[in-house]
Amino acid sequence: MSFDKSLVSDAFQAFATEAPEHAKAWMSLVQSLGKASALDTKSHELAFIAVLAALGRTSGIPFHVKSALEKGSSREEIISAILIGLPAAGHVVTQSLPAALQVLDSSLD
């Protein structure tokens, strides 16, 4: 499995390294669910970012922000996806902003 290690958590890297067959099975499931989605890939990625932010899963934000950018999302769309859960999830969503902004700002280089 190949991925930009700077964009994934230490936990996911350990998972992929120490349990490669499990990681392969997991990624197969993730890809199958993505294919089953009625959303286009850009909307799917923005929705996923919103869910990660609402759950406080900041470690997944860098990878998915980069993916959203690659699928044509703008900076404003990504920030809006993070903040959309603010009324329902509360301030926890703002914890994802620093990780997202780091990727967004580095994409300007």
For 20-32, what is each residue's pLDDT tens digit? 999 999 999 999 9
Q: Specify whether 7 is located in the same domain as 58.
A: no
Q: What band does 1 get if pLDDT is binned at 50, 70 and 90? A: low
Q: Specify whether 49 is located in the same domain as 70.
A: yes
> Which among 78, 108, 109 is positioned nearest to 96, based on CA atoms?
78
Q: Specify whether 64 is located in the same domain as 104.
A: yes
Q: Specify whether 75 is located in the same domain as 101.
A: yes
What are 95's two structure tokens? 């914890």
Counting the structural domains of the chain, the total is 2
Q: How far is CA 57 from the centre of its chain?
A: 9
What angle is formed at CA 70 by the lines to CA 79 and CA 104, rounded to 5 degrees? Answer: 40
Q: Specify whether 57 is located in the same domain as 91.
A: yes
pLDDT, tens digit (0-9, with 9 covering 90-100), for 61-107: 999 999 999 999 999 999 999 999 999 999 999 999 999 999 999 98
pTM of the predicted protein model: 0.89
CATH number for the domain that contains residue 76 = 1.20.1290.10
> What domain range includes position 6?
1-36
Count Cβ atoms within 10 A of the Cβ of residue 82 and give its class: 0-12 exposed, 13-18 middle, 19 or more buried: buried
Q: Specify whether 16 is located in the same domain as 46.
A: no
